[in-house]
């Protein structure tokens, strides 16, 4: 059993700390936010993540998981200290490192014996060495030793518990063999592949992995836009590509682009790192531009279907950037809904989890509803932005009867073309033929 302190109770810190407790360690999760810590002590989870509440309650009851605002005391009582604070994107696109540096300073001030300091936050290459300097500069006792490790996280929101308990690899970087071995042993109960490397390479692996996946998404979205112009079906194209073992089928789902806490921030950060290093990363910059433009594909399809948006009532199904999370960071809805309102439409919106988070960030003119069916009543078109299960499984016959016009613009390709044909929808998806548009055009020509 290891004594672990996790500084930061955001998404990464809370999930990682809870999972370390689940495999038998004593974990203290720290935060300066007294309200958040008080709620966690009462079993209230500040983020939506399936299975997390039950895991927190079990490990707290078994006295393996604790929450505190006394960061210094937690540091002194631990062998391993994880830094899992936020590194938000700054105005220049680089990662904002102020919270990491604050954590390093506090660690230095409370270093009372040998400890391993682990960067879990996504940080630019060179941060490990910077943390080392800050800790060293703030040590009270010159004889205290410490090592710095990079152990980047690869958690997906909505499946983070499974990703942590069944991780496909643990990347561990350090210039200390002792620290590498201890952190490797810490991960052994997860039964994962362990990859040891140097500090800088581990830091780069996180950015490289995320930006490569973002590249796959932007690539397939570009292919989708071509497919629409040449009569191909991007879902067939992606499936055929994915059968190639060199490519694989993951992250080849065409849609309205990536969002969330990682891909947007990490792509901008790596582009900034490259610029700072004197390399013009043109490919990555193109990925970013492609993703930003892809959101407006939905707007174009909607305007075409309705002949303009002024005075139209639009149902928007799904607000979070992906299913099984309430995370609104860089969600397509934050771009599309304000644009709908700007162009004269009114918006009725639905999301099973993210409404409270959405209210804070979306204009007050948006009307929210508790059920899919309520949302679409009297609307001129329906737009799908998040593929929640209850949206994918909605009764198409009922939805058609509630819409003023049977028009669906699907940014996530939730339905088969055959099903939409059968139910008589005019169906616009991404990278596939439009269904029943000719029928609408014939109808318009008769009047």
- What does the alpha-carbon distance between residue 220 and residue 209 come to, in Å, rounded to a whole number? 17
The CA R_g of the chain, rounded to the nearest whole Å, is: 24
Closest-CA residue to 407 (of 385, 436, 432, 365):
436
Closest-CA residue to 303 (of 348, 330, 339, 257):
339
**Residue in 262, 379, 382, 414 annotated catalytic:** 262
Residue with tokens 């605002």: 69
DSSP state of 121: S
- What does the alpha-carbon distance between residue 253 and residue 234 come to, in Å, rounded to a whole number? 9
Contact 128, 199 (CB under 8 A): yes
Distances (CA, A) of 134 to 125, 204, 283, 437: 16, 21, 35, 63
Residue 181, number of CB atoms within 10 A of its CB: 13
Residues annotated within a binding site for NAD(+): 31, 36, 87, 122, 157, 265, 329
Residues annotated within a binding site for substrate: 154-157, 206, 251-255, 259, 322
Question: Which residues fall within 8 angstroms of residue 153, CB to CB, at 6 or more apart?
Answer: 12, 16, 84, 120, 122, 206
Residues annotated within a binding site: 31, 36, 87, 122, 154-157, 206, 251-255, 259, 265, 322, 329
227 is catalytic: no
Residue 321, number of CB atoms within 10 A of its CB: 26
DSSP string, 3-41: EEEEE--SHHHHHHHHHHHHTT-EEEEE-S-HHHHHHHH
Q: Would you give the end-to-end CA distance of the chain in angstroms?
A: 77
The catalytic residues are 262
């Amino acid at each position: 059993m290891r004594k672990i302190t996790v500084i930061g109770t955001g998404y990464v810190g809370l999930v990682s700390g809870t999972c370390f407790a689940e495999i038998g360690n004593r974990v203290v999760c720290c935060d300066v936010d007294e309200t958040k810590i008080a709620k966690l002590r009462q079993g209230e989870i500040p983020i939506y993540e399936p299975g997390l509440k039950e895991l927190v309650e079990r490990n707290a009851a078994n006295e393996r998981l604790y929450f505190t605002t006394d960061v210094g005391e937690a540091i002194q009582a631990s062998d391993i200290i994880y830094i899992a604070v936020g590194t938000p994107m700054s105005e220049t696109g680089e990662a904002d490192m102020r919270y990491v540096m604050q954590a390093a300073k506090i660690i230095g001030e409370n270093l009372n014996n040998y400890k391993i300091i682990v960067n879990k936050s996504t940080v630019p290459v060179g941060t490990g060495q910077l943390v080392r300097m800050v800790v060293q500069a703030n040590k009270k006792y010159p004889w205290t030793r410490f090592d710095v490790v990079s152990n980047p996280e690869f958690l997906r929101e909505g499946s983070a518990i499974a990703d942590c308990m069944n991780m496909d690899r643990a990347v561990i970087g350090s210039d200390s063999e002792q620290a590498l071995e201890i952190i490797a042993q810490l991960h052994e109960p997860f039964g994962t592949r362990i990859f040891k490397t140097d500090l800088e390479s581990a830091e780069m692996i996180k950015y490289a992995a995320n930006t490569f996946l973002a590249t796959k998404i932007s690539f397939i979205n570009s292919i989708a836009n071509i497919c629409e112009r040449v009569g191909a079906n991007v879902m067939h194209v992606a499936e055929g590509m994915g059968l190639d073992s060199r490519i694989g089928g993951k992250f080849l789902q065409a849609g309205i682009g990536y969002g969330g806490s990682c891909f947007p921030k990490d792509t901008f950060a790596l582009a900034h790192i490259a610029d700072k290093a004197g390399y013009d990363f043109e490919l990555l910059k193109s990925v970013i531009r492609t993703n930003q433009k892809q959101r407006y594909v939905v707007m174009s399809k909607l305007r075409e279907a309705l002949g303009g948006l002024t005075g139209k009532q639009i149902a928007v199904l799904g607000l979070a950037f992906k299913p099984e999370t309430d995370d609104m960071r860089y969600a397509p809805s934050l771009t599309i809904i304000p644009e709908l309102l700007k162009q004269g439409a009114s918006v009725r919106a639905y999301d099973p989890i993210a409404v409270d988070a959405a209210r804070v960030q979306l204009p007050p003119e948006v009307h929210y509803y508790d059920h899919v069916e309520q949302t679409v009543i009297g609307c001129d078109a329906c737009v799908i932005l998040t593929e929640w299960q209850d949206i994918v499984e909605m009764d198409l016959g009922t939805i058609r009867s509630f819409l003023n016009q049977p028009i669906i613009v699907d940014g996530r390709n939730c339905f088969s073309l055959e099903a939409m044909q059968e139910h008589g929808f005019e169906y616009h998806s991404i990278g596939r033929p439009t269904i029943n548009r000719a029928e609408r055009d014939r109808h318009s020509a008769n009047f």
